[in-house]
C-alpha cells in the first residue's frame, strides 16, 4: 500500500453516512424497526419464512430474500435464528434496499475472507436468494440479464454449499397484481421468469440433485420444488387459476404435484401468521 486517502464525507453505505447499530456501537431497539407493509414482496418473504427451521444458520440475499428476517422478527422467532450475509455479519437483522450489506445489531462482524471460508465449509443450513430466471431443470440465472453480464458475486459459494436453498422472487417481470380477501389476482400478466432454458447457469439443478440439496422456488402465485423430474409445481395461491393465471406466465409446463396444494390464505392478509404454519411449531 502506497497511501491512504481519507474522505470525511464517505458513508457506511450508499445512502447512510453513519448508523451506530451497523458497526456495533449501539443496539437498535426492536420498537424502532419500521412496519413491514403487506404487498407482493411480503407475501413471498412470508411463504419463504415458513421453510425456516429452529436454530438454522442462514444466508439472506439482496431484495425480496432480506424480507425473510423481517418476517421472523415480526413473528417473534428471529432470536432463534442466525442470519449471515457475505460481508461478514452474524446475527442481527440485515438492512434492506441501498443499505444492504450492513446489519443492525450484529453479534459478530468478520472479514470477508473468513466469512467465505465459513460458507465453503458448509456453515450455512439455509440460503434465501433471489433469481432472474429459472428453467425446467431447476437451473437458476442471477448473473446475466439479456446481453448484460452482471456477474456472480458470492452467489456460487453460498448456493452450492448450503444444505437447503430457497429462491424468492416474483413469478413474472412487470406483472400487475392485487391482494384482496386472502387471495392474489393478476390484473396484467408479465414476462415469464420461469423459462425453458436460462440465459446462464449460475446455479445448477443437476449439481444440486447430485449433492442432495433441498431446493424450492417461492413466488407470490406458486411454490415449486426441485425433484428428480425437474421443477415440480407444489402449491398455488388462493384465487389462482392454472390456465388463466399461471401457465401463460411460464415458459414451460412444470410437473404438477398430486395433490396440488393451496398456499395458506393467511399469507395474503395483514394479521400475524398462525404459529401452526411454521416448521418451528410442527
* DSSP type of residue 273: P
Write down the catalytic residue from 31, 35, 74, 86.
86
Catalytic residue list contains 86? yes
140-172: buried (b, 16+ CB within 10 Å) or exposed (e) per residue? bbbbbeeeeeeebebbebbbbbbbbbbbbbbbb
Partnered with residue 126 across adjacent β-strands are 58, 164
| Contact between 168 and 216 (Cβ < 8 Å) | no
Which residue has cell 394479521?
Answer: 271
| Contact between 243 and 268 (Cβ < 8 Å) | no
> What string of DSSP letters covers 112-152?
HHHHHHHHHTT--SEEEE--SEEETT--EE-SEETTEE---
- Angle (CA) 215-220-226 rounded to 5° is 20
User: Residues with catalytic annotation?
Assistant: 86
Amino acid at each position: 500500500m502506497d497511501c491512504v486517502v481519507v474522505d470525511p464525507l464517505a458513508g457506511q453505505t450508499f445512502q447512510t453516512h453513519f448508523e451506530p447499530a451497523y458497526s456495533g456501537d449501539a443496539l437498535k431497539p426492536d420498537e424502532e424497526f419500521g412496519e413491514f407493509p403487506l404487498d407482493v414482496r411480503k407475501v413471498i418473504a412470508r411463504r419463504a419464512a415458513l421453510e425456516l427451521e429452529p436454530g438454522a444458520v442462514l444466508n439472506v440475499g439482496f431484495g425480496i430474500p432480506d424480507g425473510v428476517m423481517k418476517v421472523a422478527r415480526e413473528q417473534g422467532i428471529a432470536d432463534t435464528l442466525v442470519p449471515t450475509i457475505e460481508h461478514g455479519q452474524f446475527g442481527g437483522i440485515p438492512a434492506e434496499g441501498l443499505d444492504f450489506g450492513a446489519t443492525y445489531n450484529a453479534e459478530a462482524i468478520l472479514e470477508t475472507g473468513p466469512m467465505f471460508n465459513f460458507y465453503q465449509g458448509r456453515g450455512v443450513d439455509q440460503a434465501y436468494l433471489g433469481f432472474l430466471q429459472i428453467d425446467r431443470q431447476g437451473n437458476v440465472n442471477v448473473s446475466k440479464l439479456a446481453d448484460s453480464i452482471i456477474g456472480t458475486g458470492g452467489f456460487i459459494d453460498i448456493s452450492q454449499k448450503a444444505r437447503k436453498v430457497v429462491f424468492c422472487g416474483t413469478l413474472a417481470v412487470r406483472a400487475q397484481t392485487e391482494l384482496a380477501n386472502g387471495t392474489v389476482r393478476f390484473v396484467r400478466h408479465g414476462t415469464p421468469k420461469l423459462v425453458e432454458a436460462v440465459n446462464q447457469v449460475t446455479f445448477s439443478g443437476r449439481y444440486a440433485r447430485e449433492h442432495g440439496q433441498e431446493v424450492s422456488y417461492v413466488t407470490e402465485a406458486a411454490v415449486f420444488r426441485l425433484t428428480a423430474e425437474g421443477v415440480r409445481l407444489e402449491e398455488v395461491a388462493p384465487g389462482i387459476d392454472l390456465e388463466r393465471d399461471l401457465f401463460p406466465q411460464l415458459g414451460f409446463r412444470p410437473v404438477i404435484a398430486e395433490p396440488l396444494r393451496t398456499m395458506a390464505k393467511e399469507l395474503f392478509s395483514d394479521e400475524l401468521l398462525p404459529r401452526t404454519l411454521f416448521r418451528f411449531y410442527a
